[in-house]
């Protein structure tokens, strides 16, 4: 915020107007650019969409063409496979027919022999006839199925793999049915062989023949069910083919519509070409007529008309040239004025940039000076703060020492008073004032030593000194009493005073030792 405040300067009204004009011009230019960009983007988007549509249509056409080619190839392959399968089935059917005829002849002979011997037996000729009918009925649906399968192959060429799989399944089913029929025929042959000796086995043969007939009926039902399923599949495939045909018809319609458009364009081009040819022919005819019309009157009239047209055209051309000259002069003047304005604006902008650069330089110098002054002030404040802290510590030490001195003075005075009282209470006649047993002087010296040690040393040393003083004092009195063979007799009040003095003295010694320890700790911390 401080830096921004330095950049603010007073501008003249002309400069403000110029700035507003420049700002408005920039806004107008930006708007026009935005509009042009929008229009260009819209046109590009439309062109891209059209290109994409054309590319998609071409790709679809190519895909459909490829699909048509593949379908044609698949149809050819399916027709080949169909012909091969039909030939193989025909050969197999012919072989089966020949075998059935042989079997029928043999059965007829056996049955005729048996009928001669057993009139109550079943008419085998009728059975053979019914069996042949069943075979004919079975062959008919087979032919129908083969035809329907061929039609399905033709109709459902869009999915050849599924068709190929279904054809394989159908061939397997046919082969299985053929094998079953062969087995049944062999069983019939084995069971219908002539046995002239064992007529008792005829009943078992009849039962087996009935079982065979039942199996044939079951096979017939199964074939009917398979036919129904195949019809349903045919309907499904027909619906799919119809859908495919509808899609193909739609694509054909699209192709036809595009072909129609292309033909229309070609017709229009042909019409234009014919019109051009007609115009050329008309021009040639006019030239020929002009050449043939050699009469001077006609030529003079044409010349006069053309001269009049030329004069009119020349006048209009002169008028247009005058207008063009005016427009050019106006444009040239406007360009010159615009160029002069641009140059003036450029000079003003350069001057303003130089002023701003100079102001930035001055601001930078001022900021550097301010930073230096701030650093100096911070250093001075730190030094002053350190001095104040030192002064406060010295004052605190001075006050502590002063309080200790006053307390010591008070304690010394109290001690002197108490010592005087003690010696006054005791018998002063038995104590020598000037001699070897000067107790007062000795006690005073010991008390001074005790106070000094209490101040300087720990509390334990001070207490030990006090104990020594009391012990020495008691020893002196005890020795003097023993010499004189007298026992110290003190009054009850005197003993109380003595013990009170000793208690006060011990408290004072403890306080002095505690203060000495505090002073020692403070000195160690500093």
> Does pLDDT of 123 surpass 70?
no
Total number of domains in the chain: 2
Cα 196 to Cα 202: distance, rounded to the nearest angstrom: 11
Q: Which domain-ending residue is among 234, 255, 276?
A: 255
> Does pLDDT of 301 surpass 80?
no
Q: Which residue did the predictor score with more confidence, 343 or 209?
A: 343
Q: Does the residue 128 lie in any domain?
A: yes
> Does pLDDT of 265 surpass 60?
yes
H helical segments located in 426-458 = 439-456
Q: Does the residue 286 lie in any domain?
A: no
- 156 pLDDT band, cuts 50/70/90, is very low
Q: Does the residue 329 lie in any domain?
A: no
pLDDT confidence of residue 3: 38
Mean pLDDT along residues 358-371? 86
Q: Is the dihedral of CA 13, 14, 18, 19 positive or negative?
A: negative
Q: Does the residue 153 lie in any domain?
A: yes
Mean pLDDT along residues 317-339? 82
Q: Does the residue 138 lie in any domain?
A: yes
Residue 524 CB neighbours (<10 A): 7
Cα 90 to Cα 199: distance, rounded to the nearest angstrom: 40
Quick one: what percent of the chain has pLDDT higher than 70? 52
pLDDT confidence of residue 10: 44
Beta carbons within 8 Å of 329's beta carbon, 6+ residues apart: none
Q: What is the mean pLDDT of the chain?
A: 67
For 3-7, 196-200, 308-312, 465-469, which range has the lowest pLDDT when averaged over its residues? 3-7
Q: Does the residue 29 lie in any domain?
A: no
- 488 pLDDT band, cuts 50/70/90, is very low
Angle between helices 492-525 and 296-425 (to 10 degrees): 150
Q: Which domain-ending residue is among 207, 232, 255?
A: 255
Q: Are 443 and 426 in contact (CB under 8 A)?
A: no
pLDDT confidence of residue 525: 56
For 88-102, 206-220, 444-458, which range has the lowest pLDDT when averaged over its residues? 444-458
Cα 227 to Cα 149: distance, rounded to the nearest angstrom: 11
Q: CA distances (Å), 391 to each of 31, 256, 384, 385, 401, in order?
A: 74, 112, 10, 10, 15
Range of the domain at 508: 426-525
Residue 513 CB neighbours (<10 A): 21
Q: Does the residue 326 lie in any domain?
A: no
Q: CA distances (Å), 111 to each of 308, 374, 384, in order?
A: 129, 141, 148
> Does pLDDT of 120 surpass 50?
no
For 19-23, 115-119, 346-350, 433-437, which range has the lowest pLDDT when averaged over its residues? 433-437
Q: Which domain-ending residue is among 255, 277, 298?
A: 255
For 84-98, 163-177, 291-305, which range has the lowest pLDDT when averaged over its residues? 163-177
Taking the complete model, does pTM exceed 0.85, yes or no? no
In DSSP notation, 130-154 reads HHHHHHHHHHHHHHHHHHHHHHHHH
pLDDT confidence of residue 502: 61
Q: Does the residue 113 lie in any domain?
A: yes
């Amino acid at each position: 915020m401080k830096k921004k405040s330095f950049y603010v300067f007073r501008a003249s009204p002309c400069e403000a107007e110029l700035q507003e004009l420049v700002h408005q011009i920039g806004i107008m230019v930006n708007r026009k650019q935005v509009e042009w960009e929008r229009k260009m983007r819209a046109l590009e988007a439309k062109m891209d969409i059209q290109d994409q549509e054309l590319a998609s249509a071409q790709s679809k056409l190519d895909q459909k063409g490829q699909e048509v080619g593949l379908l044609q190839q698949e149809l050819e392959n399916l027709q080949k496979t169909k012909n091969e399968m039909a030939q193989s089935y025909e050969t197999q059917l012919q072989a089966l027919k020949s075998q059935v005829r042989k079997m029928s002849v043999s059965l007829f002979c056996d049955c005729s022999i048996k009928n001669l011997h057993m009139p109550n037996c079943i008419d085998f000729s009728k059975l053979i006839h019914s069996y042949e009918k069943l075979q004919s009925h079975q062959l008919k649906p087979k032919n129908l199925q083969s035809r329907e399968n061929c039609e399905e192959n033709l109709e459902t060429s869009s999915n050849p793999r599924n068709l190929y799989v279904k054809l394989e399944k159908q061939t397997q089913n046919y082969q299985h049915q053929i094998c079953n029929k062969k087995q049944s025929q062999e069983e019939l042959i084995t069971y219908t062989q002539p046995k002239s000796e064992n007529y008792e086995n005829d009943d078992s043969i009849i039962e087996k023949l009935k079982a065979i007939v039942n199996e044939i009926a079951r096979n017939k039902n199964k074939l009917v069910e398979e036919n129904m399923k195949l019809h349903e599949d045919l309907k499904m495939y027909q619906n799919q083919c119809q859908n495919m045909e509808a899609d193909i018809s739609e694509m054909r319609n699209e192709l036809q519509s595009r072909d129609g458009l292309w033909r229309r364009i070609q017709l229009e081009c042909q019409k234009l070409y014919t019109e051009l040819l007609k115009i050329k022919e008309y021009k040639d005819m006019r030239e020929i007529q002009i050449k043939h019309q050699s009469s001077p009157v006609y030529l003079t009239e044409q010349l006069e008309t053309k001269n009049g047209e030329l004069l009119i055209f020349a006048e209009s051309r002169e008028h247009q040239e005058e207008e063009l000259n005016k427009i050019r002069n106006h444009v040239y003047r406007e360009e010159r004025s615009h160029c002069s304005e641009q140059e003036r604006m450029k000079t003003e902008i350069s001057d303003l940039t130089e002023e701003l650069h100079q102001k930035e330089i001055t601001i930078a110098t001022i900021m550097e000076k301010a930073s230096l002054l701030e650093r100096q002030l911070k250093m001075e404040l730190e030094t002053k703060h350190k001095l104040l802290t030192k002064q406060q510590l010295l004052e605190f030490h001075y006050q502590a020492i002063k309080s200790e001195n006053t307390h010591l003075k008070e304690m010394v005075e109290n001690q002197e008073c108490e010592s005087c009282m003690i010696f006054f209470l005791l018998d002063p006649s038995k104590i020598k004032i000037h001699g070897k047993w000067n107790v007062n002087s000795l006690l005073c010296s010991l008390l001074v030593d005790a106070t000094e040690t209490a101040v300087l040393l720990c509390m334990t040393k001070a207490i030990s000194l006090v104990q020594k003083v009391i012990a020495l004092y008691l020893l002196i009195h005890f020795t003097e009493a023993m010499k004189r063979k007298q026992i110290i007799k003190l009054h009850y009040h005197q003993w109380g005073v003595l013990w009170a003095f000793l208690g006060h003295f011990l408290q004072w010694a403890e306080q002095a030792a505690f203060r000495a320890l505090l002073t020692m700790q403070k000195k160690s911390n500093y």
